[in-house]
Structure 1
Amino acid sequence: MMYKFLGLLAVISVCSATIKVKIDVYYESLCPDSAAFITEQLYPVVKEDLKNYVDINWIPFGKSTFETRGSEVLFECHHGPNECYGNKVHSCAIDNIQANSYEIEHTKASLQLDFINCLMKIGKNFPDNKYPGEKCARENHINNWENIQQCANSTEGSQLLKKNGERTMEFQNPLKSVPTIVFSEQYDDDRQRKALTNFRGFLCQYIAQSQPSPRVCQGINSSGKNYIAPILIVLGSAISRLF
């Protein structure tokens, strides 16, 4: 009987496993539209409700351009030189942020999300004309701001931003709109429009295509069906018959 019970637990585990949706976010550090999308739509959804259902790849570059002169890389950014520096900070943070084993509540992905959201929320309004990297690091459990800052002010930051530029141009050259949101490496204008106008709703619909819809999505996805409840009822009935 114990073996049957363990077998049912295995079934429950399989049924409750989540398939993460890969989301690529092409954005700019000082772009108002990027800031609005990240802080008002993506962050509130991913921070809590659907954090276990997404795998975000951040690509800060947008409509910038670059040219290589010897060992030096020169950038021209959509919103000016300050954005070039901001893009480097974002690039270095994405590459350098690491989770600590003694702070298990903070993963690398959650630290990146919190830090980027903080930077985008402050936007162009730098207090005392000082870039808010240190402030956002201090407020969001980022313990290696010095490494990120050093990276942003060195050739390392330039190379990381160049890599983001190459990735952006490989995807779309020039990038048609900022931000651009790509689900599972599949882009079309309709998905882009839906993601920008109702990220929560579209993500819920997208998740429901491949797995049971999360409870927080009930009543939000296109079908409105509750896929989880019937499974739990059947499993619960089966377990009860064992005892």
Structure 2
Amino acid sequence: MKSAVLFLTLYFAGTYSQQLCDHPPSEWCSTWEIAKACQVEKQCIEYYSHKDPKKTNEPAVQVELYYESLCGACRRFLVFQLLPTWLMLNNIMNVTLVPYGNAQEKEVSGKWEFTCQHGPDECYVNTIEACIIDQLKDIESHFPVIACIEQSANLTSVLGPCLAAFAPQLSVKTVMDCVNGDLGNKLMHQNAMRTDALNPPHEYVPWVVINGKHTDTLQDRAMGALFNLICETYTGPKPDACSGKEVTPLKRDSVCLN
């Protein structure tokens, strides 16, 4: 019943955007690009989040993404690989987002100061995203907001619209109080320590860790076809989505070097 209701929601949500959408309703959630073109991203997230998982005691695949907010390669991986893979396979994978990347920190008068690879705006957006993750807690709530920010043309000015669309229960003021206060500083220091503790140390971002491990082979496979990698890594009964097609691959050399 939930699936039927959600598809009806998809249909009516998409009727006003026919000029942008050349796909039938049955395809609107097949890829993130089509969902964006048909302006039904939120409804697709709801649809995949409500799909019933197959009962299993097998552990979910753990995926950690170490990234920085203004890195083009990070943004492409998060929006075009990780997000659609998670939308279709969220019942068999857990995602952890760590915004920090190739930044540097130093302690000055008892407070941490950060220098980011792409300048002050990147430090600012990194902190916004760290605060969103902290305030919304579970991945189902904060990942859509982070993806909304990362796919925007101007990342520094979309907090309000992205919260309104995907997490209206969280106010801009609450996020900005965190960003400008001690909590935001503490969260970024925690992300710095977590990133600096990577073994092996990260050489670039996006840096992908699967089930606690990072190797060149895992990174290449994640960048090339994360969807297939998750399906193959999961040891329980494969969900129906694993019989579908892979997500658009990305080039291995699309990284921001440390």
> Secondary structure of 1:186's partner?
coil
Name the aligned partner's letter for residue 194 of structure 1. R
Aligned to 2:163: 137
Q: CA deviation at 1:53?
A: 1.0
Normalised by the size of structure 2, how large is the TM-score? 0.70
Name the aligned partner's letter for residue 96 of structure 2. N
Q: CA deviation at 1:22?
A: 1.3
How many pairs does the alignment contain? Answer: 193
Aligned to 2:239: 214
> Following superposition, which runs of at least 4 residues in structure 1 exceed 6 angstroms of deviation?
none
**What is the correspondence of 1:117-136 to structure 2 with a 5 Å cutoff?**
117-123=147-153, 125-126=154-155, 131-136=157-162
Aligned to 2:125: 86
Aligned to 2:134: 95
Aligned to 1:193: 220
> Secondary structure of 2:220's partner?
helix
- How many angstroms apart in 1 are the aligned matches of 2:146 and 2:107? 27
Give me the CA root mean square deviation.
Answer: 2.1
- How many angstroms apart in 1 are the aligned matches of 2:128 and 2:134? 10
Aligned to 1:24: 64
- Residue 193 (structure 2) pairs with residue 154 (structure 1): no
Kept in 2, the 8 Å contact 1:88–1:152? The answer is yes
Q: CA deviation at 1:193?
A: 0.8
Aligned-residue sequence identity (percent) comes to 26
- Residue 86 (structure 2) pairs with residue 46 (structure 1): yes
> Structure 1 pair 203/148, CA: closer, same or farther in 2 (3 Å)?
same
Q: CA deviation at 1:131?
A: 2.1
Name the aligned partner's letter for residue 203 of structure 2. K
Q: CA deviation at 1:142?
A: 3.7
> Structure 1 pair 31/142, CA: closer, same or farther in 2 (3 Å)?
farther
Q: Which runs of 5+ in 1 are unaligned?
A: 1-12, 99-107, 222-243
Q: CA deviation at 1:54?
A: 1.2
1:111 to 130, 141, 150: 141
> Structure 1 pair 60/172, CA: closer, same or farther in 2 (3 Å)?
farther
Q: CA deviation at 1:28?
A: 0.6
- How many angstroms apart in 2 are the aligned matches of 1:135 and 1:52? 28
- How many angstroms apart in 2 are the aligned matches of 1:219 and 1:72? 49
Q: CA deviation at 1:219?
A: 6.6
> Secondary structure of 2:151's partner?
helix
Q: Which runs of 5+ in 2 are unaligned?
A: 1-52, 247-258
Aligned to 2:49: none
Aligned to 1:237: none
**What is the correspondence of 1:218-233 to structure 2 with a 5 Å cutoff?**
218=243
Name the aligned partner's letter for residue 238 of structure 2. S
> Secondary structure of 2:59's partner?
coil
1:69 to 102, 108, 126: 108
